[in-house]
Amino acid sequence: MLRHYYIIDSLDELEMIEHELQSFGIDKGQIHTLTNDDKSLGKHYLYQVDNSLKKGLVKSGDIGAAIGIVFAITILLLTYIQGWYLGPLGGMPIIMFAFMVLVFCTWEGEHIDIQLPNINSKVFKQSLENGKTILFIDLEQQQELTVNKIMQLHPMLKPEGVTSTTPEWLLQQQKKYRSLLK
Protein backbone atom coordinates (compact mmCIF):
# COMPACT_ATOMS: atom_id res chain seq x y z
CA MET A 1 0.00 0.00 0.00
CA LEU A 2 1.04 3.57 -0.61
CA ARG A 3 0.25 6.65 1.45
CA HIS A 4 -0.61 9.81 -0.53
CA TYR A 5 -0.17 13.16 1.24
CA TYR A 6 -2.11 16.34 0.50
CA ILE A 7 -2.19 19.80 2.09
CA ILE A 8 -5.37 21.86 2.26
CA ASP A 9 -6.57 25.05 4.00
CA SER A 10 -10.31 24.42 4.23
CA LEU A 11 -11.80 21.82 6.55
CA ASP A 12 -15.15 22.23 4.77
CA GLU A 13 -13.53 21.23 1.48
CA LEU A 14 -11.73 18.38 3.23
CA GLU A 15 -15.00 17.06 4.67
CA MET A 16 -16.48 17.04 1.17
CA ILE A 17 -13.42 15.19 -0.18
CA GLU A 18 -13.68 12.55 2.55
CA HIS A 19 -17.35 11.92 1.73
CA GLU A 20 -16.49 11.56 -1.96
CA LEU A 21 -13.67 9.13 -1.16
CA GLN A 22 -15.97 7.03 1.02
CA SER A 23 -18.66 7.00 -1.66
CA PHE A 24 -16.09 5.50 -4.05
CA GLY A 25 -15.21 2.68 -1.64
CA ILE A 26 -12.28 4.12 0.30
CA ASP A 27 -12.67 2.98 3.91
CA LYS A 28 -12.60 5.48 6.79
CA GLY A 29 -9.55 3.70 8.19
CA GLN A 30 -7.59 4.58 5.06
CA ILE A 31 -8.27 8.32 5.38
CA HIS A 32 -6.40 10.35 8.00
CA THR A 33 -6.50 14.05 8.85
CA LEU A 34 -3.66 15.72 10.72
CA THR A 35 -4.08 19.24 12.08
CA ASN A 36 -3.10 21.30 15.08
CA ASP A 37 -6.69 22.52 15.41
CA ASP A 38 -8.38 19.46 16.89
CA LYS A 39 -11.42 21.50 18.05
CA SER A 40 -12.32 22.53 14.50
CA LEU A 41 -11.69 18.98 13.35
CA GLY A 42 -14.28 17.78 15.85
CA LYS A 43 -16.91 20.12 14.39
CA HIS A 44 -16.42 18.55 10.99
CA TYR A 45 -17.02 14.85 10.72
CA LEU A 46 -13.45 14.00 9.77
CA TYR A 47 -11.44 10.95 10.71
CA GLN A 48 -8.47 12.33 12.59
CA VAL A 49 -5.10 10.66 12.95
CA ASP A 50 -4.78 8.06 15.69
CA ASN A 51 -2.20 8.90 18.32
CA SER A 52 -0.31 5.79 17.26
CA LEU A 53 0.09 7.26 13.77
CA LYS A 54 1.06 10.68 15.13
CA LYS A 55 3.80 9.16 17.22
CA GLY A 56 4.83 6.24 15.00
CA LEU A 57 4.07 3.58 17.62
CA VAL A 58 3.31 0.87 15.11
CA LYS A 59 6.84 0.69 13.74
CA SER A 60 8.64 0.95 17.09
CA GLY A 61 6.23 -1.55 18.67
CA ASP A 62 7.00 -4.00 15.85
CA ILE A 63 10.73 -3.55 16.40
CA GLY A 64 10.29 -4.05 20.15
CA ALA A 65 8.20 -7.18 19.50
CA ALA A 66 10.87 -8.59 17.17
CA ILE A 67 13.54 -8.06 19.83
CA GLY A 68 11.23 -9.62 22.43
CA ILE A 69 10.68 -12.68 20.22
CA VAL A 70 14.44 -13.16 19.87
CA PHE A 71 14.91 -12.91 23.65
CA ALA A 72 11.97 -15.22 24.37
CA ILE A 73 13.22 -17.87 21.93
CA THR A 74 16.70 -17.58 23.42
CA ILE A 75 15.32 -18.11 26.93
CA LEU A 76 13.28 -21.13 25.81
CA LEU A 77 16.20 -22.67 23.89
CA LEU A 78 18.58 -22.14 26.82
CA THR A 79 16.02 -23.75 29.12
CA TYR A 80 15.71 -26.76 26.83
CA ILE A 81 19.46 -27.16 26.30
CA GLN A 82 20.23 -26.88 30.02
CA GLY A 83 17.33 -29.15 30.99
CA TRP A 84 15.88 -26.63 33.44
CA TYR A 85 12.36 -27.65 32.43
CA LEU A 86 12.92 -30.98 34.18
CA GLY A 87 12.95 -29.32 37.62
CA PRO A 88 10.22 -29.67 40.26
CA LEU A 89 8.11 -26.83 38.80
CA GLY A 90 8.47 -27.95 35.20
CA GLY A 91 8.82 -25.46 32.35
CA MET A 92 5.77 -23.31 33.03
CA PRO A 93 7.56 -20.59 35.07
CA ILE A 94 10.18 -20.24 32.35
CA ILE A 95 7.53 -20.07 29.63
CA MET A 96 5.77 -17.35 31.61
CA PHE A 97 9.08 -15.51 32.04
CA ALA A 98 9.76 -15.69 28.28
CA PHE A 99 6.26 -14.34 27.61
CA MET A 100 6.79 -11.47 30.06
CA VAL A 101 10.09 -10.59 28.34
CA LEU A 102 8.27 -10.48 24.99
CA VAL A 103 5.52 -8.22 26.35
CA PHE A 104 8.05 -5.97 28.10
CA CYS A 105 10.16 -5.51 24.95
CA THR A 106 7.07 -4.66 22.89
CA TRP A 107 5.86 -2.18 25.50
CA GLU A 108 9.31 -0.62 25.84
CA GLY A 109 9.60 -0.19 22.07
CA GLU A 110 6.32 1.72 22.03
CA HIS A 111 7.18 3.66 25.17
CA ILE A 112 10.50 4.94 23.82
CA ASP A 113 8.92 6.19 20.61
CA ILE A 114 6.07 8.00 22.39
CA GLN A 115 8.58 10.65 23.33
CA LEU A 116 9.72 11.18 19.73
CA PRO A 117 7.52 12.78 17.05
CA ASN A 118 6.74 10.75 13.97
CA ILE A 119 8.75 11.52 10.82
CA ASN A 120 5.55 12.61 9.06
CA SER A 121 4.91 15.20 11.74
CA LYS A 122 8.44 16.58 11.27
CA VAL A 123 8.03 16.87 7.51
CA PHE A 124 4.73 18.73 7.76
CA LYS A 125 5.52 20.72 10.90
CA GLN A 126 5.77 24.07 9.08
CA SER A 127 2.48 23.56 7.23
CA LEU A 128 0.71 22.57 10.45
CA GLU A 129 2.06 25.63 12.26
CA ASN A 130 0.70 27.81 9.43
CA GLY A 131 -2.82 26.47 10.10
CA LYS A 132 -2.98 24.05 7.21
CA THR A 133 -4.37 20.53 7.38
CA ILE A 134 -2.66 17.39 6.14
CA LEU A 135 -4.76 14.69 4.50
CA PHE A 136 -3.18 11.32 3.96
CA ILE A 137 -4.79 8.34 2.32
CA ASP A 138 -3.60 4.73 2.40
CA LEU A 139 -4.35 3.22 -0.99
CA GLU A 140 -4.19 -0.13 -2.67
CA GLN A 141 -3.01 -0.09 -6.29
CA GLN A 142 -6.49 -0.53 -7.75
CA GLN A 143 -7.78 2.48 -5.78
CA GLU A 144 -5.15 4.98 -6.96
CA LEU A 145 -6.78 5.86 -10.28
CA THR A 146 -10.12 6.59 -8.60
CA VAL A 147 -8.52 8.78 -5.95
CA ASN A 148 -6.46 10.69 -8.53
CA LYS A 149 -9.66 11.52 -10.44
CA ILE A 150 -11.34 12.77 -7.25
CA MET A 151 -8.33 14.86 -6.26
CA GLN A 152 -8.21 16.60 -9.65
CA LEU A 153 -11.71 17.96 -8.97
CA HIS A 154 -10.38 19.89 -5.94
CA PRO A 155 -7.86 22.57 -6.93
CA MET A 156 -7.40 23.72 -3.30
CA LEU A 157 -5.82 20.34 -2.53
CA LYS A 158 -2.04 20.38 -2.97
CA PRO A 159 -0.31 16.97 -3.44
CA GLU A 160 2.76 16.59 -1.22
CA GLY A 161 4.12 13.15 -2.04
CA VAL A 162 3.78 9.43 -1.64
CA THR A 163 5.43 7.01 0.81
CA SER A 164 5.04 3.37 1.79
CA THR A 165 2.40 2.79 4.43
CA THR A 166 0.92 0.73 7.19
CA PRO A 167 0.79 -3.00 6.45
CA GLU A 168 -2.50 -4.39 5.11
CA TRP A 169 -2.96 -6.70 8.11
CA LEU A 170 -2.92 -3.72 10.50
CA LEU A 171 -5.58 -1.89 8.49
CA GLN A 172 -7.76 -5.01 8.59
CA GLN A 173 -7.36 -5.17 12.39
CA GLN A 174 -8.38 -1.50 12.66
CA LYS A 175 -11.52 -2.23 10.61
CA LYS A 176 -12.41 -5.13 12.91
CA TYR A 177 -11.82 -2.99 15.98
CA ARG A 178 -14.09 -0.21 14.69
CA SER A 179 -16.81 -2.72 13.80
CA LEU A 180 -16.68 -4.08 17.37
CA LEU A 181 -17.17 -0.58 18.75
CA LYS A 182 -20.35 -0.09 16.69
51-55 CB contacts, 8 Å cutoff, 24+ apart: 53/118, 53/120, 53/166, 54/117, 54/118, 54/121, 55/113, 55/114, 55/116, 55/117, 55/118
59-63, 74-78, 118-122, 154-158: range with lowest mean pLDDT:
118-122
Per-residue pLDDT tens over the stretch 57-105: 456 677 888 899 999 999 999 999 998 888 887 888 999 999 999 999 9
Rounded-to-integer distance, Cα 2 and Cα 4, Å: 6
Rounded-to-integer distance, Cα 104 and Cα 56, Å: 18
Q: What is the pTM of this model?
A: 0.55
Q: Which amino acid is at 69?
A: I
Instruction: Please check the confidence at residue 116 and state whether its pLDDT lies above 60.
Output: no
Per-residue pLDDT tens over the stretch 131-143: 788 888 888 878 8
Q: Predicted confidence band at 1 (pLDDT cuts at 50, 70, 90)?
A: confident
Contact indicator for 46, 11 with CB cutoff of 8 Å: yes
Three-state SS sequence of 93-113: HHHHHHHHHHHHHHHHHHHHH
Contact indicator for 44, 16 with CB cutoff of 8 Å: no
> What's the number of CA atoms in the CB half-sphere (13 Å) around residue 65?
7
How many CB atoms are closer than 10 A to CB 173? 12
Q: Taking the CA atoms of the chain, what radius of gyration do you get in angstroms? A: 21
Phi and psi (nearest 5°) for 50? -65, 150
